[in-house]
Structure 1
Amino acid sequence: MDRKIDDVELVPPKQFVPSLSDTVNKAVLKGMELNPKNRPQTMGEWLSLLQPPIPTTTVSPRYQKLQQFLAAGKWREADAETKRVMLQVAGREEWLDEDSINQFPCEDLRQIDGIWVQYSNGRFGFSVQKRIWQECGGKEDYETACRVADRVGWTKEGSWIDYDECTFTSKAPPGHLPLRSLFSWDDRYTWYGPGHYQSIFHIVLYDYCDEWALSLPSFASRLVNCNL
């Protein structure tokens, strides 16, 4: 969209103050989007835009493919690659269990999150999701997870959406991506028992017949512990 009002072009702030960094210039422009829906919706979201980008030289070779997908705006491919590398780091094949969640290396989380944050201009990433989770109460329970899901667009009219219904564009709600990092959403009704409810913030496995339930630690706890 052209930044014009009544055919008068709106000049980027860097033209007035050449010493501004590209990061600050982009953050100001994002905060001044003409369409209110495209602006950061919270102060925390806007402040995340001021995080300096990760230099390419600091990205581990393991995450270069993820970086390439994100740099090209291939959000769905980047989502699948995020899951693949996380399972590789954890030494798992299909999903992360309790031990792999609790022991997932903080440095790898920072690498993955930093790349997502950088190439989405602060819109996507684990740190963005954690901040939204905290704004929604910061509890590991069903109600909080549902509030988060409503905020990030993982639910529609009160129901959890299928993976193919997710939005793989830069216009997705803040925190919408990544999705498949921990569990395969399209297999969520067959994973580990007759049924379960899951998000990265709260995981409950349950059996209708035997009426038992098991709650696992959410990945949000690990994000907090790693100070992400």
Structure 2
Amino acid sequence: MTNKILRHRYKIISELGKGGFGTTYLAVDLDLPDRPQCVVKQLTPSDPRPQVFQVAKNLFDKEAKILHRLGKHEQIPQLFAYFEEGGQFYLVQEFIEGNDLTKEIYPGKKISEEQAIQLLTEILKILKYVHEENVIHRDLKPQNIMRIKSDGKIVLIDFGAVKEIKGLTLTSAGQTATTIVVGTPGYMPSEQAAGQPKFCSDLYAVGMMTIEALTGVPVNQFPKDSSTGEIIWKYRVNVSDDLGRVLDKMVLYDWRDRYHSIDEVLAELRIGSYSANPTTYQTTIPPGKPVNNPSTTLVGSTVVPNIGNLPQRQPLSSSNVPPVSASGIDYTKLRDLLATEKWKEANNQTNIVMTKAAKGKKLNSKNIKEIPGVDLQIIDQLWVKYSNGHFGFSVQKQIYLDTGNLPLKFRKETYKLFGEKVGWKLKRNWGFLGGWLSKDNIIFERKAARGHLPYVMVNVAGENVLVYILERLCEFWLLVGIGFVLACVFNGFLVDGFMLFVFWVFIRGVSGNSVHLWYSSLVWSHNLICTLSQKLDEHHSI
């Protein structure tokens, strides 16, 4: 094709790219002064039969007119000409000097949340114009978004509908049909893959692109919830709950549950409680407005209230949190400790006030039912406020859900992800407790992982005592093992070695059974507290 002149006007200079839908060339316009560069896209129908070709030509004419209309937007390439020549269809469009977004979005590279919001907003503003023209792009991905070299603006290219020409064929019934689905796996939602694209299908693609940019992970490498089909991605990056919520809704599996207009998305990004800072918003309860009571889930050996159906998020001031709750619990000391960032003392005080709220009973899977929801709400608000959103039950709860956990279902693997995310579990599975930290190893500093605190110990079947014993047994077991080796090497007395070996087997058996008991009680208590979540949701706090 190089040096070929199309329509006696457009001279092909070089090939820019080739895909399943056709070939793109760089060309010059011989009819204009200075011979400006342009882009020529060649589309070849796969079925040469006359009936199919005529349908393809009609479709090409229709889509070309749409592209010409869209090209009036400064961030969509202008269409200069479209024609058929030699059984091939050609589009001549404005040449955009710059690079596509694969230069900015690629595996291993993460962009900041502020950059992601800016990119998301800019794409949506252009896409809003496209949707207002009653057009669905159908193939949004980094390769189809250019950044102009001169001014840094982005441009949408390669609209998908015209690509259907490539797949047109004749069925056995004599009807024309397309054999291809326009779109790219990973960016294409289920309804589009089924041949029924919606306007919100474009929102799905933009959402996935933004998630890819934030995490540095290719879109086809995210796990999916086996029961819902939802993408699990938040464990890969620290992101504000507000942006996370927007992206989650954009990429919901069921198109009916997504945003149905770009204005909705832009409004949530632009107004209300949204902040680009992942740790600057708090939760409040407007006076006199009833809300669903927080429920609780046991994650690890700590209580995580599931604060569901919260009212609109507002900045939290000291006046929003009463020093004494309706149940008579005084939170002044906890507030003062948190205000001075005495995290360890505040964590201990949290255990104390929760015990008081449970009517003085030990915090276990049964007595925790006694804690009023309003007290859990106050404790959470204090932690969130004075840590700037870094600590708190609601923070833990969101991370717990974001890592793929479900309130009523204990999942070993996703539970590990949660533990690693909040810093309660080391990223290894070997060791005495599988990498899980004891209460003695909790980090009471601001530098701890997001959601690391509060760490509220729950006494489930003597679990606290058991963990302490396990730690001591672990240390003793190591000493016994070392002693066994030394006895065999240096002492030479077989009986000593044998006795040490028997003792070692006994200790390991006890510790192994204890670990099993600890793990079993953990699963049991998790399920029980999750059941409690449903009960607490039936009540209301004021």
Fold similarity call, TM over 0.5: yes
Task: Give runs of aligned pairs for residues 81-160 of structure 1, distance below 5 A.
Answer: 81-98=349-366, 100-139=367-406, 140-143=409-412, 144-156=414-426, 157-158=428-429, 159-160=435-436
Residues 120/215 of structure 1: CA separation in 2 closer, same or farther (3 Å cut): closer
Report if the CA contact (8 A) 2:364-2:458 is conserved: yes
Cross-structure match for 1:162 = 438
Report if the CA contact (8 A) 2:457-2:464 is conserved: no
- Give, in whole Å, the separation in 2 of the partners of 1:86 and 1:179: 12
1:203 aligns with 2:466: no
Q: Which digits, 9 at most, give the CA deviation of each residue in 1:98-135, with x for residues without a partner?
A: 3x334531111110000000000000000000100110
- Give, in whole Å, the separation in 2 of the partners of 1:117 and 1:222: 21
- Give, in whole Å, the separation in 1 of the partners of 2:540 and 2:397: 10
Structure 2 letter corresponding to 1:64: T
- Give, in whole Å, the separation in 2 of the partners of 1:220 and 1:174: 26
- Give, in whole Å, the separation in 2 of the partners of 1:138 and 1:96: 22
Deviation at 1:147, TM superposition (A): 1.6
Residues 137/160 of structure 1: CA separation in 2 closer, same or farther (3 Å cut): same
- Give, in whole Å, the separation in 2 of the partners of 1:135 and 1:57: 28
Larger relative contact order, structure 1 or 2 (CA cutoff 8 Å, min sep 6): 1
1:218 aligns with 2:415: no
Report if the CA contact (8 A) 1:129-1:175 is conserved: yes
Residues 95/58 of structure 1: CA separation in 2 closer, same or farther (3 Å cut): closer
Residues 215/56 of structure 1: CA separation in 2 closer, same or farther (3 Å cut): closer
SS in 2 for 1:218: helix
Structure 1 letter corresponding to 2:452: H
Task: Give runs of aligned pairs for residues 68-79 of structure 1, distance below 5 A.
Answer: 68-79=336-347
- Give, in whole Å, the separation in 2 of the partners of 1:114 and 1:44: 15
Cross-structure match for 1:49 = 280
Residues 42/155 of structure 1: CA separation in 2 closer, same or farther (3 Å cut): same
Report if the CA contact (8 A) 2:365-2:459 is conserved: no
Deviation at 1:95, TM superposition (A): 2.1
Task: Give runs of aligned pairs for residues 10-89 of structure 1, distance below 5 A.
Answer: 41-44=238-241, 46=277, 49-51=280-282, 52-56=315-319, 58-61=321-324, 62-89=330-357
Residues 117/102 of structure 1: CA separation in 2 closer, same or farther (3 Å cut): same
- Give, in whole Å, the separation in 1 of the partners of 2:320 and 2:354: 21
Ranges of 4+ aligned residues in structure 1 off by more than 4 Å: 45-48, 183-186
SS in 1 for 2:347: helix
SS in 1 for 2:452: coil
Deviation at 1:142, TM superposition (A): 4.1
Cross-structure match for 2:458 = 182
- Give, in whole Å, the separation in 1 of the partners of 2:402 and 2:522: 19
Report if the CA contact (8 A) 1:54-1:115 is conserved: no
% identity of equivalent residues = 29
Deviation at 1:197, TM superposition (A): 3.0
- Give, in whole Å, the separation in 2 of the partners of 1:106 and 1:203: 23
Deviation at 1:164, TM superposition (A): 1.9
- Give, in whole Å, the separation in 2 of the partners of 1:105 and 1:48: 27
Name the count of aligned residue pairs: 180
Alpha-carbon RMSD: 3.6
Residues 189/165 of structure 1: CA separation in 2 closer, same or farther (3 Å cut): closer
- Give, in whole Å, the separation in 1 of the partners of 2:526 and 2:378: 28
Residues 83/188 of structure 1: CA separation in 2 closer, same or farther (3 Å cut): farther
TM-score (norm 1): 0.65
Q: Which digits, 9 at most, give the CA deviation of each residue in 1:152-208, with x for residues without a partner?
A: 0001133111222111111110100000253498535379x953238xxx9335xxx
TM-score (norm 2): 0.29
SS in 1 for 2:397: helix
Structure 2 letter corresponding to 1:79: N
Residues 124/220 of structure 1: CA separation in 2 closer, same or farther (3 Å cut): farther
In structure 1, stretches of 5+ residues that fail to align are 1-30, 33-39, 206-213
- Give, in whole Å, the separation in 2 of the partners of 1:220 and 1:41: 29
